[in-house]
Chain A
Amino acid sequence: MEDALIIRDLHVRVEGKPVLRGVDLTVRKGEIHAMMGPNGSGKTTLAYVLMGHPAYSVDQGEVLWKGQNILELPPDERAHLGLFLAFQYPVAVPGVTVANFLRAALNERRKRLNPEDKGIPIPEFRKLLREKLALLGLEDSFAARYVNDGFSGGEKKRLEILQMAVLQPEMAILDETDSGLDIDGVRTVAEGINRIFNPNMGILLITHYQRILNYIKPHFVHVMYNGRVVASGGPELALELEEKGYEWLREQFAEQPTS
């Protein structure tokens, strides 16, 4: 199963409180999976745990990717295995330009593949960056700005997708990439994602709303509630959720009161 991200019985605690309570999910390359669910159901925790955020402790379960359990690896090594997380709330890094950041990231990867590598030649990097900026409808001057520093919500989300375009991951987790965007913003970002997506790449698209799925067609839709995947299906499931909302989940899957 070289070509799949396999999550098995994943249990995660945050500050002592269980947040994921046995998540099972498999995402193959060439597939787009949408993970939906109400706020607080554990979607963002899942995204962070997959990328290796230090604040989350895994109690149980495994995440297999490229033949190994990645849960023990630091975030940079996961990135070098082709994993990518587009953050719901991208972090500002004042004083560091988008261009320098991306070049450092690319060079790190080249160095891991070949310790002798001297880094990407600057003209080649400029060409690559300009190409990807154009893909997302961004001005060249965007690359000279400090990473997420003073960015609007839409600019932050576009920078996440720009990074994905440059780094070309094999498995991308997109955490609420549509949140905080107006309808034009959702369309621009979705178009960017569609252009980057390819058969050698899997996407786990985490979203609260159905609307981004008007632009990105998932192969599978899952519903997360209370730390578990409670329903899975095809694209029609998203429409059903849109219609019914999330209330019915509460009735069906709420914790049984313990006495």
Chain B
Amino acid sequence: MAEAHLVREARGIGPEAFEAFLGTREEPEWLRQARQEAWQILRETPKPGPDDEAWRRTDIRALSIEDLVTVMVGDGVTPPEEMRQIVERQDDLAGGLLLFDGQPALRWVDERLERRGLIFTDLLTAVREHQDQVAPYLDQVVRPGDGFFAAMNAAFWRNGIFLYVPRDLEIPLPLRAVIGLQGAPTDFSRILIVVEPGAQVTFIDERLADDAMGAAFHNGIVEIHLKENARLTYIALQNWGRYMWNFTHERASVDRDSTLDWVVVGMGAGVTKTFLEVDLVGRGATAYMSGVFFFDGQQHADYDTEQDHIAPHTKSDLLYKVALKDRARSVWQGMIRAHPGAQKTDAYQANRNLILSPHARADSIPGLEIMANDLRCTHGATVGQINEEELFYLMSRGLSRAVATRLIVEGFFAPVLDRIPVPDIRRQVDAIIHRKLGVPSEEEF
């Protein structure tokens, strides 16, 4: 048992580190092989720099890959009560899961659903106990070749979350997970979601760390397989501490007549670069991508989105709203791609930015790539400041400038927040917004 308390460390992504890493794993051969292949790709992929188109606006030269802790074994520490509370057994959830400093720290699932085949567990347990449901899907939607950080995660991921909803099972209440960090300097986790035909589920994932944690590093992958006639509502809250590096590759494959409702909330981290993509691979597939982002201080966040219409008669609708304060900076780069044969594509993308201080800056770069001829693709991007007439109107009713600003910011986000079907999350997001604005929260009306 003494071994369990051992913390072995290795840094970087070189052969010795990778060898040491594999030495800490007891995993089936197929997974070992997948890691080997990913690591080979990683070796051949240079760290992105300012010359790479996708990385032109996000400078990561200060990030030293050699110094990243890639190998870490330990039994962790007790997670803080606040993290436990979010996912503890409660009436309005169907299941909860906490990964803390890379270790599964809490898990429960409604037994009736579990008996009907629902799997909601940490990824290592899933590899051990549900290999047939994991192996065919891992590394299939986000591939190691998708980029430097995708390859790094595929080689070095330590644990993650696995959600599997069997055919025709409708989960009435949300499942909720927290990936929390406190002592681990790095996190290589991934989320794998498989929704079988006819199934329906709502999944909420929160990535959580305190500002006090200081510098840390997250490299995550999210893979979503949504099969025919299925429905997934996925709400992702990024609440990392403000000194973290945050890199993710996230992609959903949406099959025939399925609907993905994907809400991303970004409030934390120091430097973020995220790729969020949907592949509409089956006729009648629909994807809604909504985003609420509020950054302040020196936060920098760069979101790269892709709406890939591969099958005909597919629909996508993206609305990302960003508010920026102080010296915060955001980048949104969006691409709608209608592949050859994707007739009757109906695609929309909009990015709205609200700048709350003269030193904040937003770059908004929409894009279309059309290889079919019978479709409808539209986009809109705006960058604006608080309207003085609106402020005057609100202040004339006795609202201070601060409260008037709070109302305008809330109103700005409302159309997206209204898409979040869980009131609890809505309140939580409102509270973060108020904190960033420096005004107290009020009860909901």
Contacts and interface: CB of A to CB of B under 8 A. Distances in A.
Interface of A: 51-55, 74-76, 78-80, 84-85, 87, 90-97, 99-101, 103-105, 107-109, 112, 119, 122, 125, 146, 163, 167
B34 interface: no
A54 B445 contact: no
B412 A95 contact: yes
A233 B131 CA distance: 91
Interface string B389-402: 11011111111110
Nearest to B388: A54
B410 A101 contact: no
B408 A54 contact: no
A96 B411 contact: yes
B442 interface: yes
B396 A85 contact: yes
Contact of B399 (A54, A76, A87): A76
B398 A167 contact: yes
A108 B410 contact: no
Contacts of A52: 392, 395-396
Contact of B397 (A53, A55, A105, A125): A105
B105 interface: no
Given A79-B396, A100-B445, A101-B397, A93 B390 contact: yes
Contacts of A97: 445
Contact of A76 (B395, B408, B443, B445): B395
6 contacts: A52-B395, A76-B396, A79-B395, A101-B397, A104-B407, A105-B397
B213 interface: no
Contact of B445 (A80, A103, A108, A112): A103
B395 A146 contact: no
A122 B443 contact: yes
B393 A91 contact: yes
Nearest to A166: B397
| For the complex of A and B, 9 pairs with smallest distance between CB atoms | A95-B411, A95-B414, A79-B398, A96-B411, A91-B393, A75-B395, A105-B397, A76-B395, A75-B396
User: Which of A51, A75, A167: most chain B Cβ within 10 A?
Assistant: A75
B247 interface: no
B438 interface: no
B188 interface: no
Contacts of B423: none
B442 A107 contact: yes
B234 interface: no
Given A93-B411, A95-B413, A163-B397, 12 more contacts: A74-B395, A75-B392, A76-B395, A79-B395, A80-B398, A87-B396, A92-B390, A94-B414, A95-B411, A104-B442, A112-B398, A119-B442
Interface string B179-204: 00000000000000000000000000
User: Which of B396, B408, B412, B413: most chain A Cβ within 10 A?
Assistant: B396
A53 B392 contact: yes
Interface of B: 387-390, 392-401, 403-404, 407-408, 410-415, 442-443, 445
Given A95-B412, A119-B442, A101 B394 contact: yes
A146 B411 contact: yes
Given A54-B392, A91-B393, A107-B442, A76 B411 contact: no
Contacts of A99: 445
Contact of A91 (B390, B410, B445): B390
B408 A96 contact: yes
A108 B392 contact: no
Contacts of B404: 76
User: Which of A51, A91, A146: most chain B Cβ within 10 A?
Assistant: A91
Contacts of B414: 94-96, 146
Nearest to A106: B398
Contact of A105 (B389, B398, B408, B445): B398
Contact of B410 (A51, A84, A95): A95
B445 A167 contact: no
B393 A87 contact: yes
A218 B285 CA distance: 64
Nearest to B387: A91
Contacts of A105: 397-399
A79 B404 CA distance: 14
A91 B407 contact: no
Given A87-B393, A103-B445, A107-B442, A95 B415 contact: yes
A175 to B, nearest CB: 11
A93 B410 CA distance: 10
Contacts of B412: 94-95
Given A76-B401, A119-B442, A94 B396 contact: no
A15 to B, nearest CB: 15
A79 B403 CA distance: 14
Contacts of A122: 443, 445
A120 B325 CA distance: 30
A151 to B, nearest CB: 13
B398 A76 contact: yes
A79 B397 contact: yes
Contacts of B410: 95-96
A96 B403 CA distance: 12
Contact of B411 (A55, A90, A94, A125): A94
A93 B445 contact: no
B399 A104 contact: yes
